[in-house]
Amino acid sequence: MRKILLVLLVLFAALSLVSAQSLPPVSTFSIVAIDPQNGDLGVTVASRYFSVGSVVPWGMAGVGAVATQANVNVGYGQQAIDLLRQGMTAQQVLQKIMEDDKFPGKDGRQIAIVDAKGNVAAYTGPNAPKWAGDRQGKTWSAQGNILVGPQVPEAMGKAFESTQGELAEKLFAALKAGDAAGGDSRGRQSASMLVLRKGGGRNINNDRYIYINVDDNPDPFTELRRLLDLNLAYNYGDQMFKALSANDLPKAKMAAQKMIQYRPDGANGHMQLGFLDYATGDKQGSLDEFNKARNLNKDFDNQWKEEANSPPFKNMLDDKEFLKKLFPAGVPQ
């Protein structure tokens, strides 16, 4: 009986070891990058893998961004951030975490790091699932495994560098270009984006400027774009209200314009811009925005009355000529 138990224990241990060594790789393509103009740090990733955003992207504002994938050691993410916080460069961190990795399958890992000073480091193990590789630019690293070929990270880098605008837009353009070049050879399932900016997130003490995840979708890129538009619209809305609180009307107006750019069907954005246009001297622009808001919001009159009593906009109530154009049938009571 003891012999049978011993055999069963050995067999169970062997099976556990095989299972640990043959876990499915996080086959994916990703890009890590920094915006040297404002210090934004970011990661975006896509894969034929469920909930890739729960595994690959890591980061901390003012510290660095990391993508860990392939025969993934998820612990690389937090360890890399901790080491970067100690003052190590991206290259030093990469060397340290590889030296410390005692788990099986290290030669199949893939990792990329960008630190807050703009240093970039990456590693693709010789046994990472083919095709696997990485490419770097001055402020970014693109990498992937089980790809159709090197054209994927190469296309990502070109798209990143040729796209104008903020880091989130450059990252999304890179991810889309990687998919257009063939992407994950097995297909699509999930995608994620993380952009970090000190104090840049919504509400208080939030550095997650962008954090969106598509966990399981046959077209994760379309859904990621939809979520990115919403996230940016809400971000600019938050910036608008903060600027209003500081009585910085020009800054609030610019934020409202950006909010509408990302959510043109949002009645509240057009309403706010209508008030801000008026407050900054653009009465015709104000009328145009109010009319757009009216077409999108059946309760326009009541919302307008409530907003018009706010201190920055109260003088509008005395502008009879303007009110007659806005409410030809009379100002709502």
pLDDT at residue 11 greater than cutoff 50: no
Mind listing the pLDDT tens digit for each residue in 37-74?
A: 999 999 999 999 999 999 999 999 999 999 999 999 99
Residue 5 has pLDDT above 50, yes or no: no
For residue 153, pLDDT beyond 90? yes
Q: Which residue is associated with the tokens 């859904």?
A: 223
Query: Residue 273 is part of which domain span?
Result: 244-326
- Amino acid identity, position 255: A
When pLDDT is cut at 50, 70 and 90, the band that residue 3 belongs to is low
Q: For the chain, what is the mean pLDDT?
A: 91
Residue 147, pLDDT > 50, answer yes
What does the pLDDT look like over 179-208, one tens digit per residue? 999 987 888 999 999 999 999 998 889 999
CATH at 296: 1.25.40.10
| 152 falls within a domain | yes
Question: Is the same domain home to 154 and 265?
Answer: no
* Same domain as 69, residue 174: yes
Half-sphere exposure of 158 (CA within 13 A, CB side): 10
CATH code of 209's domain? 3.60.20.10
Examine the domain organization and report whether 211 and 282 are in the same domain: no
91-110: pLDDT as tens digits:
999 999 999 999 999 999 99
C-alpha–C-alpha distance, residues 147 and 151, integer Å: 9
213 in the same domain as 117: yes
Strand extents, DSSP E, 19-102 = 28-34, 41-47, 57-60, 64-70
Indicate whether 27 pLDDT > 70: no
Q: Are residues 54 and 194 in the same domain?
A: yes
pLDDT of residue 325: 95
Residue 6 falls inside a structural domain: no
Task: Identify whether residues 121 and 270 lie together within a single domain.
Answer: no
**What are the backbone dihedrals phi and psi of residue 295, each rounded to the nearest 5 degrees, phi first?**
-70, -25
Q: What domain count does the chain have?
A: 2
- For residue 3, tell me if it sits in a domain: no
pTM of the model: 0.88
